[in-house]
Amino acid sequence: MTEAKLAPNLPQWMKDHTENYLASGGTEGHMYTIIRPGLAEMAVASLLLTTTGRKSGEKYIFPLFYGDTGNSYFVIASKGGAPEHPGWYRNILVNPNVEIQVGTKKMHAVARTTTGEERAKLWDEAVAFFPPYADYKIKAGEREIPVVVLDPAA
């Protein structure tokens, strides 16, 4: 993921997580441990998604929780339930060719937004590995949170 930089405006925990992931070559940071007051500790798998900025043309890295489906991965464009889609999702709508790092494995992929039964199935899987997505869905109101599959490029 050469020439890529951290996405602007990431919260500090995401910056720290991404820097740790990159510095270790993916041996650390793949599993992210979430500690929330009054709740059980939760470990969630994370990948690094590199998109091309739709306005700047620059490459940006975003850490995201993920699941797998066949030989592909999927991520949720939740933005914590905000009313608008996250920047990385708006980037892939313009240019779906991305790079991902899953642990120590790096690859090119093509992003696509799911619909129908595929979306419903993957959404349920996402809520199973990261239950706060259910709350984000409520917070998002009218916005349907996209479920994005990252298919490895041939």
Q: Is the pLDDT of residue 115 over 90?
A: yes
Residue ranges of alpha helices (H) inside the chain are 12-23, 87-94, 116-129, 132-140
- The whole-number average pLDDT for the span 11-26 is 90
Sole residue written with tokens 């020439």:
3
Which amino acid belongs to residue 105?
K
Residues 31 and 19 sit within 8 Å (Cβ to Cβ): no
- The whole-number average pLDDT for the span 130-153 is 95
Which is it for the CA torsion 111, 146, 128, 131, positive or negative? positive
CATH classification of the domain holding 142:
2.30.110.10
Query: By C-alpha distance, which of 76, 73, 71, 106 is closest to 88?
Result: 76
pLDDT at residue 2 in the model: 46
Kindly report which listed range (17-21, 32-36, 56-60, 114-118) carries the lowest average pLDDT score: 32-36
Domain that holds residue 21: 5-152
Number of other residues whose CB lies within 10 A of the CB of residue 92: 25
Residues 14 and 72 sit within 8 Å (Cβ to Cβ): no
The pLDDT tens digits of the residues spanning 80-111 come to 999 999 999 999 999 999 999 999 999 999 99
Count of the separate structural domains present in the chain: 1
- The whole-number average pLDDT for the span 54-61 is 93
Average pLDDT, the chain: 92
pLDDT at residue 3 in the model: 83
Sole residue written with tokens 């706060």:
132
Q: Is the pLDDT of residue 10 over 50?
A: yes
On the 0-12 / 13-18 / 19+ scale of CB atoms within 10 A, 2 is exposed
